[in-house]
Structure 1
Amino acid sequence: MTFRIRPAAPRDLQSLYEMAKLTGGGFTNLPADKPALKTKLERSEAGFARDDDQLADDLFILVLENVATGQIRGTCQLLSKVGEKSPFYSYRIGALTQHAPELGRTFRADMLSIVTDLEGSSEVGGLFLHPHERAGGLGMLLARSRYLFIRQHRARFANRVLAELRGVIDDAGGSPFWDGIAGKFFGMNFQDADAFNAIHGTGVLANLMPKHPVYTAMLPETARAVIGLPHPSGRAAMRMLEAEGFHHDHYIDIFDGGPSMTAFTDRIRSVAEARETPITRIADLGEDEGEKLLVARGRLKDFVAAYAQVRAEDGGIAIDPAAASAMGLAVGDAVVTIPR
């Protein structure tokens, strides 16, 4: 069974909507709202259609397609520059240390300060894989295809990339972090705020957040306990980000407290280690011949990526027929590869 990554198209709206209903909330990049998804697809189409190399406020949506059935089984997104139209807020975890010689004590107060430090970064996010497909490395295919897309369009992305991981959500769909801070100001539960953000974007509520530091000692233990922790379903995604060179530099999401991971673009493993090579032969290759690599080719709307069995040869590589067919490859085409 062969899967490929390709740009999303208007015909994928229903498939994306069906997947959005499976996310369980707290997933504002993939709202379970058809008009909002349609708007995102239109914005993505505009980004793929723009063929210059200027860094701008683009959104690119990619989908994972089963080549045999045409079913869409996953999706991911790239934002080329956050904070272009409205401030991009994060909480930065910090501390204030004060000494009291008279008491012979030092007091340390942990605090959350609202900042816009990550403005201007590119962002990878919106990654969702259908529950029935969470095997065979398809999540990694989705995740790493984004970095190959960045490499193929390097001028369209910033020098730093961030990834926001969904924070801890309880069984009822609520957020302990939201309940401890923002919920007290907005008078709405997390589910309502999440639905609002999914349709209107996070900027409206973010602009209304209190701008003074929050001392974590004043938060309920339920909120303190989840600061900087990913949702259990996001732990594997966090490990993949760390393997690519991302790290958690004390930034968290202002709504659910999930960690924001950052990396310098050119140091991301899949960007730095990718190699361009021509196809010299299309041939049946056994599992003991060569190795399985992630392969990508094409720009913008012609971008496609998939796993392929590949063997190095003089002057290029041999590639298996199924992958070549799925990606529309022929002898002489140039592709970009990275180890699985």
Structure 2
Amino acid sequence: MTVPAWFDRSADLPFVRPVRADDLDALLALAALTGGGMTNLPPDRETLAEKIAWSEASLAADIATPANEFYLLVLQSGDGRVLGTASLFSRLGAKWPFYSYKVSRVTHVSRDLDRSFSTEILHLVNDFDGASEVGGLFLHPDARAGGLGALLARSRYMFIAQHRRRFGDVVIADLRGWVEDGSSPFWEAVAGPFFGSGFLEADLHNAMHGNQFIADLMPRYPIYTSMLPAAARGAIGRPHENSVPALKLLQAEGFVYEGYCDIFDAGPTVQARTDQIRTVRQSRPVEAALPTLVSDDAQPLVAQGRESAFRVWQVAGETRSG
């Protein structure tokens, strides 16, 4: 196969690339638009600079198996503006445990009262230790049209396909949870009393300092959801309204919800086998001067280069050998 004839790299097209140190101001401006609650894009200059450095170091490392790497991608417009971000973690649980709540169901039966009662229970688990994670998907409000969200989201899977040995056999995505009036009803009912802080403050601490404080303070016993306020129960597995488009994109790639949720805001955690992710499965190498992949579908992507030279474009047309 050769590079598809319809692909013109010189065209003035938006594309996705790894972050660079000179993107810091642009990332800080994007972070100010998120409204908080995005661990991978905190509105803190020092933390963002550390994430950029971590991404650059991860790209430069000679990787045999995934350890604790982080890759931050940005969407760049044809005129050079940074319009969005997306991120990947190579292996969860490498530095500290990755915590989730797993929703299960229990039924109690009393023969004396001739009564049964069924309710859901939340268990604190580390089931995704060793998995990879995609996240940090954020687009500038002015860029949420024309397929740019799909380009940014799918660029992560093209990155995985181009660097397969850098990732595990399972990939998860931890979506932002439901909020009401700027606060998380789940956080207020479950975790807030243990941490003595608001949701956004705790989430920012997690982004800046890691989650050891979760292990130190988080309640470890199962939580009966029937004992929670209705607003907190309703938030379990419910995505933030701004995350619904991201969830649909994930589902289109084959990610499924199997009862796992975020411990802060109870947003849904979805998962997929890495090699069964649609874009990964449909990508194929083609002949070119640079290492090149093409996603073989109705909305094809072209990825060229590896590590810091990695780029992804979405172009109109049908894939065919040139």
Deviations along 1:36-76, one digit per CA (max 9) or x if unpaired, are: 00111111011110133322110000000013x21100110
CA distance in 2, matches of 1:137, 1:203: 38
Letter in 2 for 1:276: P
Aligned equivalent of 2:32: 21
Displacement after TM superposition at 1:195 (Å) = 2.3
Q: CA RMSD in A?
A: 1.7
Task: Say which SS state the counterpart of residue 98 (structure 1) adopts.
Answer: strand
Whether 2:269 is the aligned partner of 1:269: answer: no
Aligned equivalent of 1:35: 46
Aligned equivalent of 1:293: 300
1:1-340 to 2 correspondences below 5 Å: 2-67=13-78, 69-171=79-181, 173-278=182-287, 293-313=300-320, 316-317=321-322
CA contact (8 A) 1:88 1:203 kept: no
Q: Normalised by the size of structure 1, how large is the TM-score? A: 0.86
Task: Say which SS state the counterpart of residue 272 (structure 2) adopts.
Answer: strand
Letter in 1 for 2:193: K
CA distance in 2, matches of 1:185, 1:307: 46
Task: Say which SS state the counterpart of residue 240 (structure 1) adopts.
Answer: helix
Compare CA radii of gyration and give the structure with the larger one. Answer: 1
Displacement after TM superposition at 1:235 (Å) = 0.5
Query: CA 1:170–1:246 in structure 2 vs 1: closer, same or farther (change >3 Å)?
Result: same
Deviations along 1:176-201, one digit per CA (max 9) or x if unpaired, are: 11001001111211122122222212
Task: Say which SS state the counterpart of residue 225 (structure 1) adopts.
Answer: helix
CA distance in 1, matches of 2:318, 2:197: 57
Query: CA 1:190–1:240 in structure 2 vs 1: closer, same or farther (change >3 Å)?
Result: same
CA distance in 1, matches of 2:75, 2:168: 25
CA contact (8 A) 1:122 1:160 kept: yes
CA distance in 2, matches of 1:43, 1:312: 35
CA distance in 2, matches of 1:298, 1:203: 36
Task: Say which SS state the counterpart of residue 314 (structure 2) adopts.
Answer: strand
Runs of 4+ in 1 over 6 A off after TM superposition: none
Query: CA 1:311–1:186 in structure 2 vs 1: closer, same or farther (change >3 Å)?
Result: closer
Deviations along 1:202-240, one digit per CA (max 9) or x if unpaired, are: 332344201000111111111111111000011111111
Give the % identical residues.
Answer: 47
Displacement after TM superposition at 1:309 (Å) = 3.6
- Higher RCO (C-alpha under 8 Å, 6+ residues apart): 2
Query: CA 1:275–1:205 in structure 2 vs 1: closer, same or farther (change >3 Å)?
Result: same
Structure 1 unaligned regions, length at least 5: 281-289, 318-340
Displacement after TM superposition at 1:96 (Å) = 1.4
Write 1 or 2 for the structure with the bigger share of strand.
1
CA contact (8 A) 1:167 1:228 kept: yes
CA distance in 1, matches of 2:318, 2:254: 27
